[in-house]
Chains A and B, each alone.
Chain A
Amino acid sequence: MMGGPGRQLRQDTQKAKDISATLKRLVKYFSPYWLILLFVSIFIVGATWTQVRTPDLIGQAVDCFITPATVSKFADAPSGAAGAAIPGQPVKQTASQTNCWYTTTDAKWTSQDYINGLGGLILLVVGLFVAGAIMTGLQFYTMTWTGQHVLRNLRVEVFDHLHKLSLNFYAENEAGNVMSRITNDIETIQQAISFALVSVTSGTLLLVWIGYTMLSKSVAYALISMAVVPFMIIATNWFSSRARDAFRITRQEIGKVNANLQESISGVREVQAFNREEANIEEFERTNAANRDANIKAVSYTAALSPVLESLGYLAVAIVTITGGIFLLRGQDMFGTTITLGLIITFLSYTQRFNQPIQQISSLWANIQNAIAGAERIFNLLDTEPDIFNAPDAISMNQIQGKVEFDHVSAQYVPGELVLNDVSFTAAPGQTVAIVGPTGAGKTTIINLLPRFYDVVSGQVRIDDVDVRKMTTSSLRKQIGIVLQDTFLFSDTVMNNIRFGRPEASDEDVKRAAQLARADDFIQRLPNKYETILGEHGAGLSQGQRQLVAIARAALADPRILILDEATSSVDTRTERQIQSALEVLLKGRTSFVIAHRLSTIRNADMVMVIEGGKIVECGKHDELLANKGAYYNMYMRQFVNPSGPNEPNSSNIPALGGLNSATSAD
């Protein structure tokens, strides 16, 4: 009666592009559960049957017992007195009794006989009610059981697929967007499967069945009773489409309110520093008022729909009883149907059952449409082909030596825009290669190609003389450790975050790795030490501490090849020194590629590669490159050396490359 259709109308409606293809595919997910679905159908039909049957039986109660009993009362009087049948009387009794198929009554029945008979009939009705309840329950449960299993399979499939997709996909699609798309779409599918589908199916079935039953009892009476239905449908559609448009506006308005709140709360310090409180409050009141007005407008449509339907329902009831009553009183047949009191009661009851399913179907229909559109988007995601997959004859690499070769490698993220252009170099096992160059030069691309996060467009990346595309990705990546600039930690214990590098490692191994990474100290100071649970993105730890955990993670994995992106984020001097010395330990004995920002790293490197515009412009040891007075020399002079400053190059105070961060005098 209240708030019913409003909830569904608040959602947005989206239409799928290819409904039949999407449905066909959805059906495939349901097909393993066909047996259960067969039961679901049986339960739906059964439950609907009980609903159609009941009004008919109530009609029987009137026609077989109540009317005859009432009529027999005054029939008793004369028969008792005169002992003779009244002429003309049986005619009407037959009218009621022709409609009474449930039982044959005897004119000699006493009131008690009628009551007993009625009791039997009502027991049958109770039986129907109980059966209906059981079937409805079973129908609901079996359907949601199936739906939940389908959803689970879909979820897992999506999740697996997300792992198959290459990093290219994640470069093009922001993680947050992918996340909200998946969760929203699955949520709408879930709503549709667990509730809307069953309601709409059984509602439609109920409508059709009741309509059929009414028609088969009396075509004319049925048509009169259903005269209001088209108006109900028109009203529902009209109001629903208005409401949907209006609610779309409310969603935009509340979005603005939220955006305003978000911005002014997170920026509250600036607001106060610049005395903007009053202006902001005024602005917020405007946004807020727009939201209020949009909501009131939208609700006026939903608020109108329910009363209109209710009124139409009452109108239908009035029409049924009055027309039926008039025909009965006049003793006329309604186009060939004899109207009895029982029939009026039956039709009255049917009419009342019409109202609810119509409302339900119209409001849930949008939900089902959304679900199909959601399913289509999920399927599109599943259809995204992973760029990188194992070749059929891919080999699994055993322990590698760590020789890395780039052989005329070109790479691109966007077709036609090479980020690496014909790059060739060789790193011998155990060597440290420092990669320097401006932002966007291609440094990150080089390190992305090694673990085959991306594929080259031409040339080859070889490890121990084998093309990385000929290896299984898992055997390749297991031998490569990576410490990235923005450290990603999982919301799990410190222990498990470090163990991420090697799941089978013992607690002692983890602690040893942490000690090696100089992380043990601060971990010991955490509230639950190694069992402290880190928040999302490792909140609770400082940037530097997160880096130390990441280093420990890589150390535990004990890879043959190490990839390192030196951080440019500011950490305090002490932590900086710790990171520095941890890295030195880690690099020892492994082939390492470092995107270098620290002078000490560059100086200790076996090879410095200067990358500019996707090409190696210079390559060699630090001292040689300085002596060459080429690109490296220029960059070095520009960034490390200040002609007017007090410090000479190679003095003890060496700022970091890029000149932004506190650096250490590690050498």
Chain B
Amino acid sequence: MGYLKNHKRVATYAYVSLFVSTAAMLMVPQLIQNIIDSITNGAIAQQLVKVPTQFLPMALQKMNWSASQYDTFRNGAEAALITSGVLILVFSVLRGLFAFWQSFNSERISQGMAFDMRNQLYSKIQRLSFSYHDRNQTGQLMVRATDDVEKVRIFIGQGLLMAVQSFFLLTVTLIILFFTNFNLTLVILPILPIAIGLFMVFGAVAQPLFAKVQTKLSTLNTILQENLAGIKVIKAFVREPEQKARFDLSADDFMNQQLQVQRLFSFLFPTIFLVANLGQAAIYYFGGSQIINGTLTLGEWQKFSLYLMYVFFPLGQLGFIISQMSQAAASATRIFEIIDAPNEVANKPDAMNLPPVQGKVVFDNVTFRYFGSDAPALDHVSFTAEAGQRVALLGATGSGKSSIINLIPRFYDVSEGKVTIDGYDVREVCLDSLRQQTGIVLQETTLFSGNIRDNIAFGRPDASMEEVMEAAKAASAHDFIMSFPDGYETKVGERGTTLSGGQKQRVAIARALLLNPRILILDDSTSSVDTVTEYGIQQALDRLMLNRTSFVIAQRISTVRNADQILVLDKGRIVAQGKHDDLMENSPVYAEIYNSQLVEDAAVTLQPAEILSSASNG
């Protein structure tokens, strides 16, 4: 609700317009009554002209008219008619203008609020720590920033306004009706609870039915989707008949569910209209009787039936709003869950900038648990990496390699102990200044939509073209980039050129190189690429590591052989530590891993012809 405050001015416009336009709308039936009454009275007055003068007073008395009224009716009917007509025109224009102004402004408010909410969600999501993102899937977060915001927007922009309008319209209409003719109003009053009841029943019954339709539809679509994605498997195992039977069944199921909803609609909609129409019929009969008995005029009678529409209309709207409200409330809860989510990793109030570092990294008795997990991912780990050292991390999946590299740029916070860089605890310094000095190249590379240049300059948008090209050359990326018609301006990401795994990896290396970080974190595996590319990537990685403190999740033999320090991890503990030769002698665990898990570097003795042929194949 606080969001409304930002749009106070526009909200005032919207609500004022709402009242004016509704009031103008309420005037119209009254004016129609005036016209019809003018016509009737004028017509009767013209009849009375023909009544012999001696009987006129008697006739007037019978009609309850005074002599002056009679005069007005007789001579001024046409003028009254035209006056009312002009008034209708004026009010309808008023109504039109303000109705437009109202919906326009309500859209401005609701869009403005959605804008605020999305921005807030977005900046929160961008800053939430890795551990939050581990727990939440992209799809879920997307839905909240799109669908949920939209639901809240529609409710606050339209629903709230509609509710106010409905109440206003309903109350004023009922008051007018009571003042026009009390007895006739009593006639239609019993219809109101029936209508409300119908709307509520409809809401209660329809909602779960709709949900069921959605479930059946998604089942149907899942089958379709699986059949498209797995067509080869289905053809290979000749399972078409079963899949067809499955789809037929599901299609029938969906159809029947749809028909169930339609049955409800086919019953409820006409019934609701019937109730409204019966109200009209009651007015026709009882109103007609009153006219005949002289307690109601024809104009009032018409007015009544027009106002009756203003009674049913808001009732329908309210029913609609109620169902919208519960959805909007659920959506709002989901949105605020994100906005209010605590961010574990954030700058301390007194955090200072990390000065340019040498790159000495110390893990001091570090224990680390992932959110919601009892077993520590790192269990009392201590080691020191001197500035400029190359540290190779070895171990099975889940042994704690990733945890170590994630703690250095403070993507997570340690549970116990501390991580220091040049003696600064990473939790004491500003995140920006810390992460500016650490570069990361992971195996799974995400590129962002934009051109290649933007992606290389991702961490330093102000970098010059020369710097970008230099980084790309060092990452062996320059050649393939230049082979694209648009060179560095080639669009990548969604709706852009698709880069191969190896090309992406080289862009990621260039990206990290451009940052010129003191500390480097990388994964030296190469995703499925041909031999020549692989060789190029490995060369680039080696260049990247030169003269920086580097932490490498090692997959290659050459990495460990060249490492200044090897950490062998098992179940969150360091089980062996040292240089390759020592470890080969002293650590059977290391020898086993070395022999069974590491791979050779791509050969460096390729013939030029072979390079050409395999490059064209890859």
Contact of B411 among A125, A263, A269, A644 (CB under 8 A): A269
Given A78-B52, A289-B115, is A655 in contact with B235 using a C-beta cutoff of 8 Å? no
A344 engages B232 (CB within 8 Å): no
CA distance A645 to B600 in the complex (A): 7
Given the interface pairs A258-B146, A658-B528, the reply to whether A73 lies near B63 with Cβ below 8 Å is yes
CA distance A642 to B431 in the complex (A): 43
6 closest Cβ contacts across the A-B interface? A303-B103, A314-B92, A274-B459, A141-B266, A307-B96, A311-B96
A114, A163, A553, A665: residue with the most chain B Cβ atoms closer than 10 Å: A163
Chain A's interface: helix, strand, loop or mixed, by majority? Answer: helix
Do residues B292 and A307 form an inter-chain contact, with CB atoms below 8 A? no
Check B233 against A307 for contact (C-beta < 8 Å).
Answer: no
Contact in complex: A275, B259 (CB < 8 Å): no
CB-defined interface of A448-469 with B at 8 Å, one 1/0 digit per residue?
0001010000000000000000
Contact B292 A69 (CB under 8 A): yes
Q: Which residues of A contact B115 (CB under 8 A)?
A: 288-289, 291-292
Q: Check B292 against A58 for contact (C-beta < 8 Å).
A: no
Q: Are B111 and A77 interface neighbours, CB within 8 A?
A: no
Interface residues of A in 19-58 (CB under 8 A from B): 58
Alpha-carbon separation in the docked complex, A295 to B127 (Å): 28
Contacts of B230 in A (CB 8 A): 488, 490
Q: Which of B38, B123, B271 contacts A133 (CB 8 A)?
A: B271
Complex: A308 Cα to B97 Cα, angstroms: 8
| A138 at the B interface (CB under 8 A) | yes
Contact with B along A188-232 (1 / 0, CB 8 A): 000000100000000000000000000000000000000000000
B interface residues, how many (CB within 8 angstroms): 165
In contact, B446 and A267 (Cβ under 8 angstroms): yes
Enumerate A489-523 residues with CB–CB distance to B below 8 Å. Answer: 490-491, 500-501, 503
B313 at the interface (CB under 8 A from A): yes
- What chain A residues lie within 8 Å of B13 (beta carbons)? none
Q: Name 26 A/B residue pairs within 8 A (Cβ), A-sorted.
A: A61-B284, A70-B292, A76-B62, A119-B289, A133-B271, A134-B270, A155-B247, A156-B247, A160-B244, A167-B235, A170-B232, A265-B142, A267-B448, A273-B411, A300-B107, A303-B107, A307-B21, A344-B39, A348-B32, A438-B618, A484-B232, A490-B230, A637-B603, A653-B595, A659-B600, A660-B529
In the complex, chain B residues 229-282 whose Cβ is within 8 Å of any chain A Cβ = 229-240, 242-244, 247-248, 251-252, 254-255, 258-259, 262-263, 265-267, 269-271, 273-274, 277-278, 281
Are B284 and A125 in contact, with the CB atoms below 8 A? Answer: yes
User: What is the 8 Å Cβ interface bit string for chain A, positions 288-318, against chain B (1 contact, 0 not)?
Assistant: 1101100110011011101110110011011
Given contacts A289-B115, A439-B617, 10 further A-B contacts (CB under 8 A): A92-B43, A136-B270, A140-B266, A163-B227, A263-B493, A296-B107, A303-B100, A330-B78, A557-B237, A660-B527
Q: Which residue of B lies closest to A167 (CB)?
A: B232
B237 touches A326 (CB 8 A): no
Report whether B141 and A265 are in contact in the complex, using a CB–CB cutoff of 8 Å. yes
In angstroms, Cα B51 to Cα A658, docked, is 115
Closest Cβ of chain B: how far from A40's Cβ, in Å? 12
Complex interface residues of chain B between 562 and 618 (CB less than 8 A to chain A): 595-606, 610, 613-614, 617-618
How does the 8 Å CB contact mask read for A1-35 relative to B, with 1 for contact and 0 for none?
11100000000000000000000000000000000
User: Is A419 interfacial (CB-CB < 8 Å)?
Assistant: no
- Decide if B125 touches A136 in the complex (CB within 8 Å): no
A77 touching B597, Cβ below 8 Å: no
Smallest Cβ-Cβ distance to A325: which chain B residue: B39
The interface on chain A, measured as residues whose beta carbon lies within 8 A of the other chain's beta carbons, has a size of 174
A281 in contact with B126 (CB, 8 Å):
yes
Question: In the complex the two chains form, is B126's CB within 8 Å of A660's CB?
Answer: no
List of B residues within 8 angstroms of A306 by Cβ: 99, 103
B152: chain A residues at CB < 8 Å are: none
Residue of B nearest to A324 (CB): B39
Q: Considering the complex, which residues of chain B in the window 88-112 have a beta carbon less than 8 Å from any beta carbon of chain A? A: 88-89, 91-93, 95-97, 99-100, 103-104, 107-108, 111-112
Q: With A145-B259, A303-B107, A307-B96 as given contacts, are A660 and B528 in contact (CB-CB < 8 Å)?
A: yes
A170 to B62, CA, bound (A): 88
B236 engages A482 (CB within 8 Å): yes
Q: Give complex CA distance A160, B258 in Å.
A: 22
Contact of A162 among B227, B237, B281, B313 (CB under 8 A): B227
Partner pick for B528 among A271, A440, A480, A568, CB 8 A cutoff: A568
| A contact residues around B292 at 8 Å (CB) | 65-66, 69-70, 111, 114-115, 118
CA distance A330 to B525 in the complex (A): 98
> Which listed residue (A2, A291, A345, A661) contacts B158, Cβ 8 A?
A2
A249 close to chain B: CB less than 8 A: no
Chain B's nearest CB lies how many Å from the CB of A634?
7
Q: Is B82 an interface residue (CB 8 A)?
A: yes
Tell me, in angstroms, the Cα distance from A661 to B269 when the chains sit together. 65
**Taking CB as reference atom, which chain B residue is nearest A568?**
B528
Contacts of B396 in A (CB 8 A): 572-573
Q: Which residues of A contact B490 (CB under 8 A)?
A: none
Q: Is B118 touching A288 in the complex (CB atoms < 8 A)?
A: yes
B39 touches A653 (CB 8 A): no
Residues in chain A near residue B294, CB distance under 8 A: 70, 73
Given A183-B224, A268-B133, decide whether A74 and B63 contact each other with a Cβ distance below 8 A.
yes
Q: A537 vs B222: C-alpha distance in the bound complex, in angstroms? A: 11
- Contact at B239–A322, with CB atoms within 8 Å? no
Q: What B residues does A572 contact at CB under 8 A?
A: 396-397
B282 to chain A, nearest CB (A): 8
Q: Kindly identify, within residues 617 to 667 of chain A, every residue whose CB is under 8 Å from any CB belonging to chain B.
A: 634, 637-639, 641-647, 652-653, 655-656, 658-665
- For A303, list chain B residues within 8 Å (CB): 99-100, 103-104, 107
**A309-363: which have CB < 8 Å to B?**
310-311, 314-315, 317-319, 321-322, 324-326, 328-331, 341, 344-345, 348
Of the candidate stretches A174-182, A407-415, A422-430, A598-606, the one touching chain B is A174-182
Known: A159-B224, A267-B446. A501 touches B237 (CB 8 A): yes
Determine the residue in chain A with the shortest Cβ distance to B57: A77
B112: min CB distance to chain A, Å: 7
User: Are A275 and B291 in contact (CB-based, < 8 A)?
Assistant: no
Tell me, rounded to whole Å, the shortest Cβ–Cβ distance linking A567 to chain B.
10
B112 touches A307 (CB 8 A): no
A74 close to B89 (CB less than 8 A): no
Residue in contact with A321 in the complex, picked from B35, B50, B265, B436, CB distance below 8 Å = B35
Find out whether the CB atom of B111 lies under 8 angstroms from the CB atom of A296.
yes
| List of A residues within 8 angstroms of B228 by Cβ | 162, 170, 175-176, 178-179
Least CB distance from B412 to A in Å reads 11
Q: Are A477 and B459 in contact (CB under 8 A)?
A: no
Given contacts A111-B293, A262-B138, contact A321 B263 (CB under 8 A): no
A152 interface residue per 8 A CB criterion: yes
**In the complex, chain B residues whose CB is within 8 Å of the CB of A304:** 100, 104
User: Interface digits, B316-359 against A, CB 8 Å rule (1 contact, 0 not)?
Assistant: 00000000000000000000000000000000000000000000
User: In the complex, are the beta carbons of A281 and B122 less than 8 A apart?
Assistant: yes
CA distance A419 to B265 in the complex (A): 58
Docked-complex contact B133 and A307, CB < 8 angstroms: no
Flag if B600 contacts A655 (CB, 8 Å).
Answer: yes
Determine the distance from Cα of A291 to Cα of B233 in the docked complex, in whole angstroms. 42
C-alpha gap A314/B48 in the complex (Å): 32
- Taking a contact as CB atoms closer than 8 A, the residue among B77, B89, B126 that contacts A264 in the complex is B126
The answer to whether A74 and B112 have CB atoms under 8 Å apart is: no
Contact of A642 among B97, B525, B600 (CB under 8 A): B600
A265 to B494, CA, bound (A): 14
- A659–B602 contact, CB under 8 A? yes
Query: Given that A71-B47, A477-B235, A477-B237 are known contacts, is A341 also in contact with B96, CB under 8 Å in the complex?
Result: no
A166 to B242, CA, bound (A): 18
Does B545 lie at the interface of the complex (its beta carbon under 8 Å from any beta carbon of A)? Answer: no
Flag if B265 contacts A140 (CB, 8 Å). Answer: yes
A87 at the interface (CB under 8 A from B): yes
| A639 and B289 contact, CB distance less than 8 A | no
The residue in B234, B284, B494, B601 that gathers the most chain A C-beta atoms within 10 A of its C-beta is B284
Interface pair B235/A62, CB less than 8 Å apart: no
Residues in A whose Cβ lies below 8 Å from that of B235: 163, 167, 451, 453, 473, 477
